Amino acid sequence: MPKIDVQTLPVPWSRTIAAVDLGSNSFHMVVARVSDGHLQITDRLKEMVRLGEALTPDHRVDPEVAERALACLERFGQRLRGFAPGDVRVVGTNTLRQLAPDSDFIERAEAALGYPIEVIAGREEARLIYLGVAYGLAAGSERRLVIDIGGGSTEIIVGQGFSARLRESLYMGCVSMTRRYFADGRITAKSMQRAELAGALEIRPVRELFRRARWEQAIGSSGTIRAIATVVQAEGWCEDGISAESLARLRSVLLASGRASALNLKGLSDERRPVFAGGFAVLNAAFESLGIDHLQVSDYALREGVLYEMVGRQHGDVRERTVRALGRQFHVDLEQAQRVEATALGLYEQAREPWALLDREHPLLLAWAARLHEIGLMVAHSHYQKHGAYLLRNADLPGFARQEQAMLAALVLGHRRKFPIQEFATLPRAVQLPARRLCVLLRLAVLLHRGRSADTKPNPDLLVDQSTLILRFPEGWLDAHPLTRLELEEEAERLAAVGLELRFS
């Protein structure tokens, strides 16, 4: 197993962590030991589930494949038994992104695995893939093009060092391309040409952008690319990686075979054979569209990127950098945001235990929502909370999973005016209650700083139970601030509409 330096780790430090990648074709798990500044991979598990093949027209998972996937996750869960929640990160990609909002598959999958699942956006997947590939290579300053072909999507990235500079996620993969053009198992010149043209058409909107990126080295990751590399090297068509000439020879053999079941290629596994033609079409389209002559192959990809991200979050969370960048981009009033953040976190500390807000992500999300609650003002003052929520829900936010973005958007939407109970109802069931409670704390913090004064505000005592909040101010303070008293009275009415009682004195 490779042993790679983790540059930002202090010494000594020891921890066992695991990353689970729920792809459209395969489920992967990687376990690693972080010790004395090194990350040592100690175990790998992989099962070919082909979840992407099981996606029904109404965006649910076929029951038979769902049971196969859940059984796999139960086996993964047995290996992870005893791991602390913060030492396991589970990410879902293209197929899970496509599930209908009322599908219960993710909830059942979390129960089978025993850990929450983060569904990540395509460009966030691309960032993590690049991170994994970069750590798996010798350090260098050259600009790299990275291609990762999954079951349902293909990520293309240009980066330098450990930073992804240009990222795209395209809607094509080995499973989806096979379903569209080779579903009957036949491989004909016509079907192959149609598949390659579809791949080129998908790449076309970003083709010139990536061609002009001046990358010096092309690298491929993922099972599809590793399988193609294994075949062309085993057949003697390429000594290292994948060359354009070796792809041309492989294309001729695929067409001569005529059917996926008839493929007799050295190094091609039985489990990879059914989706091999679809994966080849995607890679060949990428070679031709992006002008690739030779592709090196990396054994590292998304799951390794997740491992390094987990380690990196101990010493510099990329989400923090994203929030700061958003604040600058939308010209947030930093002093006001800091005042609201400090008060919100003060209230959180008092409500944390009685309201069971014990997840270490809770104060982070509350702080970030406080800092970004006014970003919608750059769009318009009227209903600015709605504009801010829209931006956070739909923007490309490096480091954030889709669920985290949805929670952040809900908090910002709910920080003023009517409490948007329906917005919280769209979140996964397990986070709905804590998200609503965090929103109440944010609302109170924003209310207390409505005047935008730099004067120090009192830190009120807060007592909470399941449905009641009691705020206690210093004696005489509310009498001296009648506008705040009036706003608290109005807030009490808004919270009463969602079953919460607010008292203050």
Predicted local distance difference test score (pLDDT) of residue 1: 39
Average pLDDT score over residue span 321-343: 93
Of 255-264, 392-401, 441-450, the one with minimum mean pLDDT is 392-401
**Residue ranges of E strands in 151-281:** 154-160, 163-170, 217-221, 242-243
320 SS3 class: helix
Across 21-37, average pLDDT: 88
What is the pTM assigned to this prediction? 0.83
Which pLDDT belongs to residue 314?
56
Residues 6 or more apart whose CB falls under 8 angstroms from that of 299 comprise 2, 136, 221, 226
Q: Give all strands of the β-sheet with 461-464 in edge-to-edge order.
A: 461-464, 468-472, 501-504
Which pLDDT value is given to residue 138? 62
- Based on the number of CB atoms within 10 Å of its own CB, is 489 exposed (0-12), middle (13-18) or buried (19 or more)? exposed
Q: How confident is the model at residue 3 (pLDDT cuts 50, 70, 90)?
A: very low
| Residue 150 · residue 25 · CB < 8 Å | yes
Structure confidence at residue 11 as a pLDDT band (50, 70, 90): very low
Give CA–CA dist 92/109, Å, rounded: 11
- pLDDT class of 13 with cuts at 50, 70, 90: low
Average pLDDT, integer, range 339-344:
94
Nearest to 247 by CA among 272, 270, 215, 281: 281
Q: Mean pLDDT for the chain?
A: 91
User: Does 318-456 carry CATH code 3.40.47.10?
Assistant: no
What backbone torsions phi and psi does residue 160 show, to the nearest 5 degrees?
-140, 135
Given a cut of 90, whether residue 302 has pLDDT beyond it is yes
The count of other CB atoms within 10 Å of the CB of residue 417 is 13
How far CA 5 is from CA of 13, 40, 139, in Å, comes to: 13, 9, 10
Query: What pLDDT does 98 receive?
Result: 92
Tally Cβ neighbours within 10 Å of residue 486: 10
Give the pLDDT band (50/70/90) at residue 451.
confident
85-101 pLDDT tens trace: 889 999 999 999 999 98
> Structural domain boundaries of the chain?
3-120+306-312, 138-297, 318-456
Q: Which residue has the tokens 């709910």?
A: 414
- The token duo for 262 is 């008839």
Q: Please, which residues bridge with residue 226 across strands? A: none
**Domain 138-297 class in CATH:** alpha beta
The confidence score (pLDDT) of residue 6 equals 43
Report yes or no: 412 and 376 within 8 Å, Cβ to Cβ: yes
Segment 135-157 shows an average pLDDT of 89
pLDDT given for residue 137 in this prediction: 80
Whole-Å CA distances, 266 to 237, 246, 297, 483:
11, 14, 18, 78
- Answer whether residue 136 shows pLDDT above 90: no
Band of pLDDT at residue 458, cut at 50, 70 and 90: confident
Q: What confidence category does residue 7 fall into, taking pLDDT thresholds of 50, 70 and 90?
A: very low
pLDDT at residue 453 tops 70: yes
Indicate the pLDDT class of residue 160, thresholds 50, 70 and 90.
very high
- pLDDT value of residue 85: 87
Query: Which has the minimum average pLDDT: 174-188, 314-328, 436-450?
Result: 314-328
CA distance readout (Å), 359 to 186, 314, 354: 51, 16, 13
**pLDDT higher than threshold 80 for residue 315:** no
What gap in Å lies between CA 480 and CA 148, rounded to an integer? 62
Determine the Cα–Cα distance for residues 76 and 147; give it in Å rounded to an integer: 27
pLDDT above 70 as % of the chain: 95
> What's the mean pLDDT in 388-407?
91
Instruction: Please give the CATH number for the structural domain made up of 3-120+306-312.
Output: 3.30.420.40
Contact between residue 466 and residue 435 where contact means Cβ atoms under 8 Å apart? no
On the question of a common fold for 138-297 and 318-456, the answer reads no
- Per-residue model confidence as pLDDT tens digits over 173-225: 999 999 999 999 999 999 999 999 999 999 999 999 999 999 999 999 989 99
| Phi, psi of 4, deg, nearest 5 | -125, 135
Residue recorded with tokens 């930073």: 163
Instruction: Compute the half-sphere exposure of residue 346: CA atoms within 13 Å on the CB side of its CA.
Output: 17
Among all chains, which residue has been given the structure tokens 């031709």? 288
- Per-residue pLDDT at 459: 83
Q: What is the pLDDT of residues 233-252, one digit of tens each?
A: 999 999 999 999 999 999 99
Average pLDDT in the 273-282 region?
96
